[in-house]
Amino acid sequence: MRIGKDLVAAAATPVVLGILAEGESYGYAILQRIAELSGGELEWSDGMLYPLLHRLERLGHVDSEWRQSPGGRPRKHYRLSAQGASTLADHRRQWSIIGGVLDQVWPGGADHRQPRLALGLD
Amino acid sequence: MTTEKAPALDELIASWRDWMERRDALSIRDVDELESHLRDRVDALVAAGLAEDEAFLIAVKRLGSMDELSREYAAEHSGRLWKQLVLNDSSDTEGADASTGTIPFARRANGLAVALLLGVGAGIAVKATEFLTGEPELVVRNIAVLVLPFLAAWFAWRRRPPAGTLFGVAAAFAAVALALNLYPFDGGSASVEIAGQNSATAVLATIGSIVALWLVTGIVDAGGVWRSDRTRMDFLRFSGEWLVYYVLIAIVGGALSGLTVAVFASIQVDVMPFIGEWVLPCGAAGAVLVSAWLVGAKQRVIENIAPVLTKVFTPLFTLMMLALIVASVMQWNLVDGSRDLLIAFDLVLVVVVALLVYSISARDPALPPGWFDRLQVLMLAAALVVDVIVLVAMIARTGEFGFSANKTASLGLNVILLANLAWATWLQVGFVRRRVPFDGIERWQTGYLPVYLGWAAIIVFVFPPVFGFA
């Protein structure tokens, strides 16, 4: 199943910040981690990650540093900043509200065939 | 086989790099980062059993389409490359130009025909008002109301803002025009005589109307999204570069006019009246539009000049202000200084803010703080000291002579600049110490624009009645 473009765009920032919260990382590894976490469902073209990382850096959510990879190639590493951590917490609150709403609006589980609306009617 | 493979991959990547580096939106460092990614991806695919050239093709494909990618980079690094965004607006027409050549005449050469037409319109508006009213000082007072609508029309043609924005801007122009012409400015004080205006509040209202309407015109340039920091910064960039072009045109125009007068004088024909009454006013009005067109069409030249200009003048201005501080401490007679001196100091501070804003707009946000940012801290600190000295002097003067329109206006401007510079210094120190992201500095300056607009509006609308139109 392909996830819609807008939803991917909306999820990109919290997902990337969340991965960097696990520890500092670089572009290719971040993409690998996303593929691994989503079972390959959440995907965008590889290049698009970098403008996003640059935006997060400009906003002060992440810091970056050029290092040598084990193979001796230069590699740009990104690290979550304190400000980025609080932004991530903020994103998390917002997403859990949305998740909570969707959970209530949609059928509860596999055994729950009929859709119900969370309007206090049922 | 293996001996051939390694150079083949390096060759492929070298040609890919070559291709990527031609994109203006990507810096060399960006391409380095993408190359590192590409090589990681190729390594993984080769480990999975693909040949290197196959792996390379897949890795490049997975990076995404180059156009989309460079557009994404351009959107993020609009400071590095706002030209791309400007040109993107008309990229469809440019494409048509290249392929079919059937684009409408108006859209060719970035709309030069429209810009020239509007420029002629601005010149005619100025001359027509002069003929209809027969009062040159009315033209001077209304100069912003006469010329800037044509600039707003140019932006409206380029950006197609929503109708609501256009109505709002038109209402602002109308309000300023009414205030400037219905207020009974009184030529009472014979001591003030600037450009045919003998009322201090009229002179102030003229200056205020230029500032206010320029900023209002920026709302049209922003295409309605004037709350965005990005579009505000783009308009600041536009303003700075527009000024550079306008000054260049003025210098060349002045030299050319002088030469014309001299040449005709040698054959005993006096063209001075023609130059003074027609070429100068129409040229000055039309050049507003031509400069605006140039900023849109020929940015590459200035892109290289803007950082150089700030880098040259920031150290010089810092030195000048340090000398000013030393001199004023040694003499300590600024309080007795004339009003002109205090207004000149105000202008110094305006230039400091302009240097700061302009260097912000030309700076690559991704770079870490360097020597130039530290120098700016020094410049800002010096400016703060100068501003405090000027404020003390001004308050002493108003205490002595009471509040006049001029003193109140320059005092207000000073307080506004002091607040700006104080917080800007705080942010700049934070940035140099890596506590504040560069974005914070940018947002402070763009967020401050409404304050200037507000003060200019007060000077236009409130000052004349409060100070009895004197």
pLDDT tens for B292-347 read: 888 877 655 455 566 678 888 899 989 988 888 888 778 766 555 555 666 777 88
Whether residue A54 and residue B440 make contact (CB cut-off 8 A), yes or no, is: no
Q: Which of B9, B13, B33, B66 to mutate to test the interface with A (most CBs of A within 10 A)?
A: B33
What are the φ and ψ backbone dihedral angles of A67, each rounded to 5 degrees?
-135, 175
Query: B264: which strand partners?
Result: none
Q: Do B437 and A59 touch (CB under 8 A)?
A: yes
Q: What is the mean pLDDT of residues B90-110?
A: 47
Residues in A 3-62 with any Cβ partner in B closer than 8 A: 26-28, 44-48, 50-52, 54-55, 57-60
Above 50 in pLDDT, residue B436? yes
3-state secondary structure of A33: helix
Q: Would the pLDDT of B194 be above 80?
A: no
Contacts of B59 in chain A (CB under 8 A): 46
Q: Report chain A residues whose CB lies below 8 A from the CB of B30.
A: 50, 54
Considering the domain delimited by A5-119, tell me its CATH architecture. Answer: Orthogonal Bundle (1.10)
Give the number of other CB atoms < 10 A from CB of residue B129: 18
Average pLDDT, chain A: 82
CA distance A74 to chain B (A): 7
B331 neighbors B324 (Cβ within 8 angstroms) = no
**Cβ distance of B30 and A83 shorter than 8 Å:** no
Question: Does the CB of B5 have a partner CB in chain A at under 8 Å?
Answer: no
DSSP string, B87-108: HHHTHHHHHHHHHT----GGGG
Distance (Å, whole) CA B277 – CA B27? 50
Q: Six-digit token pair at B372?
A: 């130039």
Instruction: Give chain B positions within 8 Å (CB) of A74.
Output: 32, 36
d(CA B162, CA B159): 9
Amino acid identity of residue B416, one-letter, is I
Written as six digits, the tokens of A86 are: 């609080």
The Cα B374–Cα B390 span in angstroms is: 24
Interface mutation vs chain A, best among B38, B72, B229, most A CBs within 10 Å: B72
Provide the token pair at B341.
Answer: 């001196």
Q: Which tens digit of pLDDT belongs to each residue from B374-385? A: 899 999 999 898
Nearest CA in chain B to A70: B40
**What token pair was written down for B107?**
């859209």
Do B196 and B140 touch, CB atoms closer than 8 A? yes
DSSP B13-55: HHHHHHHHHT-TTS-HHHHHHHHHHHHHHHHHHHHTT--HHHH
Q: What number of other Cβ atoms are within 10 A of residue B331's Cβ?
A: 10
What ipTM was estimated for this complex? 0.76
Residue B2 has pLDDT above 70, yes or no: no
Local structure of residue A75 (DSSP, 8 states): E
Phi, psi of A65 (to 5 degrees): -160, 140
% of chain A beyond a pLDDT of 70: 87
Residues 392-451 of B with CB under 8 A from A: 436-440
Q: Are B352 and B421 in contact, with CB atoms under 8 Å apart?
A: yes
Which of A45, A69, A78, A81 should one mutate to test binding to chain B, selecting the residue with the greatest count of B CBs within 10 A? A45
Flag if B64 and A48 touch (Cβ within 8 Å). yes
Cβ atoms of residues B417 and B387 within 8 Å: yes
Measured distance CA(B291)–CA(B91) in Å, rounded: 21
Helix or strand (DSSP H, E) at B436: none
Residue B89 has pLDDT above 60, yes or no: no
CB contact under 8 A, A58 and B69: no
Mean pLDDT for the stretch of residues B248-268: 89
CB contact under 8 Å between A45 and B63, yes or no, is yes
Nearest to B64 among A27, A45, A54 (CB): A45
